């Protein structure tokens, strides 16, 4: 009988809060987020890096959390779909997905929201082609891509308008 | 996934000790986009996973006009194509790193890992071969350098021995009269494995003829290929469509593709010709820009 590998203590930041957990080296970050930390927004789709349903942001970059070991989160800053809305309400991307009916079964939606947030923060005013290229790592098996792209374009407009407003208010 | 230990050494010496101690039971973790899938699906096994991302030399990325590019083996794909200076100099490398998987994969996957994984259809390897890159390797017996063109030994097999790992990839310096490109054919728009991939690099002389050229082919043999004869043919020639077409015919002669669900051997051979011409045209435009 082999002895179980010792669990490793990890300290990380999730959605702005310092978090500690214990995990086995073989546990993926996706497993840790869902099963240990109770953050079930990220979904397990393919579990091999194709579908993007488990997308989270680590140190400002979108990654597939199924392809990250939990132990690699040590010292990282992680953002999940749970951190997108704030106390004032839903994020414009979330509002636009709802208003534009940019989801059918919804399994891919958290991954799309996280990727879209990363995209609009990095490339405000992105063209449709850029949106489609940069979101090619998120698959929707209901194939509602057109509505998803339109929702992201609308959110982009709202975000740039609110940025303009805040400039005017200054 | 089977249980394994995890270590994240911070020096090359410590990593070498761990890899030497555990031999073939040790697996290196850089971006994890191949190895984690392989461990999960039982395609590879590990007693210990050695995360090399905390070793400074593995994450370093520097360019100099004298020594060229030092690309730490763990540098992620997005760090290459998002670096305008690097992407401008090494067009083929930027092309290939920008189409590996989606954004999530590019945030993590490293060129060093793509090389070590030694897939015949790897996107960065033809780009690296065209750019005449070499792998700087360290191990229990010390350092050695392996040309990328000689690094792959078969599907999933590379030239490293137990205890060795790639520290960095080094690519010769580039000047304004050089240009390179990588293209692949896939039936989808994005997120697919190359049916064929081709890397081209050319250097122009003072009158605008080809002074040097390197062509490389992916997914048409057990390893990515350096198309030596086709490359040599271009030396001294005018960079025009006729010569590109003749080089394409020479490149087609060295391929030994398989027929699978992605394409037949005949189709792959045809694609080699198409992509050699297209990548040479792009490489030329970049060398003339």
Taking 50 as the threshold, does the pLDDT of residue A170 lie above it? Answer: no
Half-sphere exposure of A13 (CA within 13 A, CB side): 10
Contact A125, A160 (CB under 8 A): yes
Spell out the domains of chain A, with CATH numbers in brackets: 8-83 (3.10.20.30), 92-164 (1.10.150.120)
Contact B129, B137 (CB under 8 A): no
Angstroms from A169 CA to nearest CA on chain B: 34
Return the pLDDT at A1.
43
Return the pLDDT at A3.
56
Return the pLDDT at A167.
55
The share of chain A scoring above pLDDT 70, in percent, equals 94
CATH code of B178-288, in short, is 3.30.390.50
CB–CB contact B108 A68 (8 Å): yes
Where are the alpha helices (H) located in B41-89, listed in sequence order? 56-59, 77-81, 84-89
Could you tell me which of A34, A87, A85, A78 has the C-alpha nearest to residue A58? A78
* Structural domain spans, chain B: 5-51, 59-171, 178-288
Taking 70 as the threshold, does the pLDDT of residue A168 lie above it? Answer: no
Strands A77-79 and A8-14: parallel
Name every residue in B having a CB less than 8 A away from some CB of A: 1-6, 8, 29, 31-33, 36-37, 39-41, 49, 51, 53, 78, 101-105, 107-108, 189-191
Token pair belonging to B212: 């040097």
User: Among A26, A118, A133, whose Cβ lies nearest the Cβ of B4?
Assistant: A26
CB–CB contact B36 A8 (8 Å): no
Among A25, A131, A145, the strongest candidate for a mutation testing the B interface, having the largest count of B CBs within 10 A, is A25
Q: Which stretch of DSSP H or E encloses residue A99?
A: helix A92-99
Q: What is the pLDDT along chain B (289 residues), one digit of tens a residue?
A: 899 999 999 999 999 999 999 999 999 999 999 999 999 999 999 999 999 999 999 999 999 999 999 999 999 999 999 999 999 999 999 999 999 999 999 999 999 999 999 999 999 999 999 999 999 999 999 999 999 999 999 999 999 999 999 999 999 999 999 999 999 999 888 888 999 999 999 999 999 999 999 999 999 999 999 999 999 999 999 999 999 999 999 999 999 999 999 999 999 999 999 999 999 999 999 999 9
| pLDDT tens-digit map of A116-145 | 999 999 999 999 999 999 999 999 999 889
**What single-letter DSSP state applies at residue B123?**
S
| pLDDT tens-digit map of A139-162 | 999 988 999 999 999 999 999 998
Half-sphere exposure of B224 (CA within 13 A, CB side): 34
| End-to-end CA gap in chain B | 50
Taking 90 as the threshold, does the pLDDT of residue A2 lie above it? Answer: no
Q: Which stretch of DSSP H or E encloses residue B275?
A: helix B265-288
Predicted ipTM > 0.85: yes
Q: What is the DSSP string of A105-138?
A: S-SSHHHHHHHHHHHHHHSTT--HHHHHHHTTTS
Return the pLDDT at B191.
83
Residue B165 DSSP SS3: strand
> What does the alpha-carbon distance between residue B240 and residue B210 come to, in Å, rounded to a whole number?
10
Taking 70 as the threshold, does the pLDDT of residue A34 lie above it? Answer: yes
CB–CB contact A26 B32 (8 Å): no
Note the Cα B84 to chain centre separation in Å: 19
Q: Which CATH number fits domain B59-171: 3.20.20.70, 3.40.50.10490, 2.40.160.60, 3.30.465.10?
A: 3.30.465.10
Return the pLDDT at B190.
83
Taking 70 as the threshold, does the pLDDT of residue A165 lie above it? Answer: no
Question: Using alpha carbons only, how large is chain B's radius of gyration in Å?
Answer: 19
Return the pLDDT at B188.
85
Q: What is the mean pLDDT of residues A53-60?
A: 97
Q: What is the mean pLDDT of residues A67-86?
A: 97
Length of chain A: 170
Return the pLDDT at A41.
97
Length of chain B: 289
Mean pLDDT estimate for chain A: 93
Could you tell me which of B169, B140, B167 has the C-alpha nearest to residue B18? B140
Among A27, A47, A113, A136, the strongest candidate for a mutation testing the B interface, having the largest count of B CBs within 10 A, is A136
Residue B210 DSSP SS3: strand
Beta bridge partners of A78: A14, A58
- pLDDT class of A166 with cuts at 50, 70, 90: low
Return the pLDDT at B31.
97
Q: Domain B5-51 is in which class?
A: alpha beta
Higher-confidence residue of A169 and B96: namely B96
> What does the alpha-carbon distance between residue B8 and residue A127 come to, in Å, rounded to a whole number?
40
Contact A98, A72 (CB under 8 A): no
User: Among A25, A68, A138, whose Cβ lies nearest the Cβ of B32?
Assistant: A68
């Amino acid at each position: 009988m082999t002895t179980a590998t010792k669990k490793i203590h990890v300290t990380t930041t999730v959605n702005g809060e310092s978090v500690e957990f214990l995990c086995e080296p073989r546990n993926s970050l996706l497993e840790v987020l869902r099963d240990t930390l109770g953050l079930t927004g990220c979904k397990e789709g393919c579990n091999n890096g194709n579908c993007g349903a488990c997308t989270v942001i680590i140190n400002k970059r979108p990654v597939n959390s199924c392809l990250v070991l939990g132990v690699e989160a040590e010292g990282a800053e992680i953002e999940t779909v749970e951190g997108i809305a704030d106390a004032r309400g839903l994020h414009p991307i979330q509002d636009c997905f709802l208003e534009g009916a940019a989801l059918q079964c919804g399994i891919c939606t958290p991954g799309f929201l996280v990727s879209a947030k990363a995209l609009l923060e990095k490339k405000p005013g992105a063209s449709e082609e850029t949106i489609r290229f940069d979101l090619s790592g998120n698959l929707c098996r209901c194939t509602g891509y057109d509505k998803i792209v339109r929702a992201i374009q609308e959110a982009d407009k709202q975000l740039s308008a609110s940025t303009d407003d805040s400039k005017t208010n200054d | 996934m089977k249980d394994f230990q995890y270590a994240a050494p911070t020096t090359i010496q410590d990593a070498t000790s761990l890899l030497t101690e555990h031999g073939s039971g040790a697996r290196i973790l850089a971006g994890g986009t191949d190895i984690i899938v392989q461990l999960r699906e039982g395609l590879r096994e590990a007693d210990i996973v050695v995360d090399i991302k905390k070793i400074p030399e593995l994450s370093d990325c520097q360019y100099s006009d004298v020594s060229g590019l030092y690309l730490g083996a763990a540098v992620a794909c997005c760090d290459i194509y998002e670096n305008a200076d690097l992407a401008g100099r090494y067009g083929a490398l930027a092309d290939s790193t920008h189409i590996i998987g989606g954004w999530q994969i590019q945030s993590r996957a490293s060129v060093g890992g793509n090389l070590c994984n030694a897939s015949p259809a790897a996107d960065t390897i033809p780009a690296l071969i065209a750019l005449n890159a070499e792998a700087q390797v360290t191990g229990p017996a010390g350092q050695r350098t392996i040309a990328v063109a000689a690094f792959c030994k078969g599907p999933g097999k590379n030239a490293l021995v137990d205890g060795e790992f790639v520290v960095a990839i080094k690519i010769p310096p580039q000047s304004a009269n050089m240009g390179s490109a990588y293209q692949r054919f896939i039936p989808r728009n994005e997120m697919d494995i190359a049916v064929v991939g081709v890397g081209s690099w050319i250097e122009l002389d003072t009158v605008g003829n080809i002074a040097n050229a390197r062509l490389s082919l992916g997914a048409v043999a057990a390893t990515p290929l350096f198309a030596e004869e086709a490359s040599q043919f271009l030396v001294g020639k005018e960079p025009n469509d006729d010569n590109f077409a003749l080089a394409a015919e020479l490149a087609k002669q060295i391929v030994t593709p398989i027929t699978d669900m992605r394409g037949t051997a005949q189709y792959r051979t045809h694609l080699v010709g198409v992509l050699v011409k297209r990548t040479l045209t792009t490489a030329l435009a970049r060398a003339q820009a």
